[in-house]
């Protein structure tokens, strides 16, 4: 399935658009291919796009003063990623984004998103829906973080996204769970 079809299926799941509307929507995206390890948003840069994953896996992450990395999201096909705070406020990126594997991504600029949201009511509806889903997921993750220990959270993550087990090295999984790689390793070995 090509990029256009992937996006179309994703949007139509929740929003009704005519073919012409969707074609116009799609025309605002730019398809780009990235290599494993390639950086899409680097900390401190200006952010003017958000990214819809067609193929592969991205990570959005934060690195603190002690160079410890925290992963906010593993973005897999049909997921959206960016530093949304920087993107919406026009501030510099605190969250970086790069590729865990080779990836194919549809890029939408902030300006184009706002433009089409103004022009086509249904597209605004779609983005409301999308953001809402992200918000709910983020709240759930926060709650799980407060409530559950590492082992539980690890198994919860793998149950939700089994493909991560093979796709993503354990040290990155640890950075997502907010735990040291040693502790994660000791959950099943030792």
Partner DNA sequence: CGGAAGGTGTGACCTACATCACATTTAAAA
Partner DNA sequence: TTTTAAATGTGATGTAGGTCACACCTTCCG
**Closer to DNA by Cβ: residue 7 or 184:** 184
Of 77, 102, 151, 167, the one binding DNA (CB under 7 A) is 151
141 touches DNA (CB under 7 A): no
Q: In sequence order, what DSSP letters do the residues of 32-88 get, joined into one string?
A: EEE-TT-EEE-TTSB--EEEEEEES-EEEEEE-TT--EEEEEEE-TT-EES-HHHHH
Specify whether the CB–CB gap between 40 and 48 falls below 8 A: no
* Residue 171 makes contact with DNA by CB under 7 A: yes
Residue 145 touches which member of a copy of itself, DNA, none, C-beta under 5-8 Å by kind: a copy of itself
Q: Which helix (H) or strand (E) holds 169?
A: none
- Binding-residue pattern over the window 24 to 63 for DNA, x denoting contact by CB under 7 A: ------------xx--------------------------
Q: Are 57 and 99 in contact (CB under 8 A)?
A: yes
The one among 13, 92, 133, 170 contacting DNA by CB under 7 A: 170
Instruction: Name which of 162 and 178 has its Cβ closer to DNA.
Output: 178
- The distance of closest approach from Cβ of residue 177 to DNA in the complex, given in angstroms and rounded to an integer, is 8
Beta bridge partners of 30: 107
Which residue from 21, 77, 79, 134 is in contact with a copy of itself, where contact means CB under 8 A? 134
In angstroms, give the least distance from the CB of 179 to DNA: 4
What 12-19 contacts at long range (C-beta under 8 Å, 24+ apart), as own/partner pairs, is 14/126, 14/129, 14/130, 15/122, 15/123, 15/125, 15/126, 15/129, 16/122, 17/120, 17/122, 17/123, 17/126
Could you tell me how many residues of this chain bind DNA (CB under 7 A)?
Answer: 20
140 binds, among DNA, a copy of itself, none (CB under 5 to 8 A by kind): a copy of itself
Nearer to DNA, 159 or 189 (CB): 189
């Amino acid at each position: 399935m090509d990029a256009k079809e992937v996006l179309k299926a994703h949007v139509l799941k929740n929003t009704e658009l005519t073919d012409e509307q969707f074609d116009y929507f799609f025309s605002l995206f730019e398809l780009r291919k990235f290599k494993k390890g390639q950086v899409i948003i680097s900390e401190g840069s200006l952010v003017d796009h958000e990214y819809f994953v067609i193929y592969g896996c991205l990570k959005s992450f934060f690195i603190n003063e002690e160079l410890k990395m925290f992963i906010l999201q593993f973005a897999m096909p049909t997921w959206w990623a960016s530093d949304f705070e920087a993107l919406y406020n026009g501030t510099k990126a605190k969250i970086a984004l790069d590729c865990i594997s080779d990836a194919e991504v549809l890029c939408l600029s902030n300006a184009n998103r706002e433009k089409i949201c103004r022009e086509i009511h249904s597209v605004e509806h779609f983005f409301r829906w999308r953001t809402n889903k992200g918000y709910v997921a983020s709240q759930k993750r926060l709650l799980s973080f407060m409530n559950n220990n590492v082992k539980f959270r690890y198994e919860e993550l793998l149950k939700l996204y089994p493909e991560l087990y093979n796709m993503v090295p354990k040290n990155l999984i640890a950075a997502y769970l907010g735990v040291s790689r040693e502790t994660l390793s000791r959950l099943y070995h030792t």
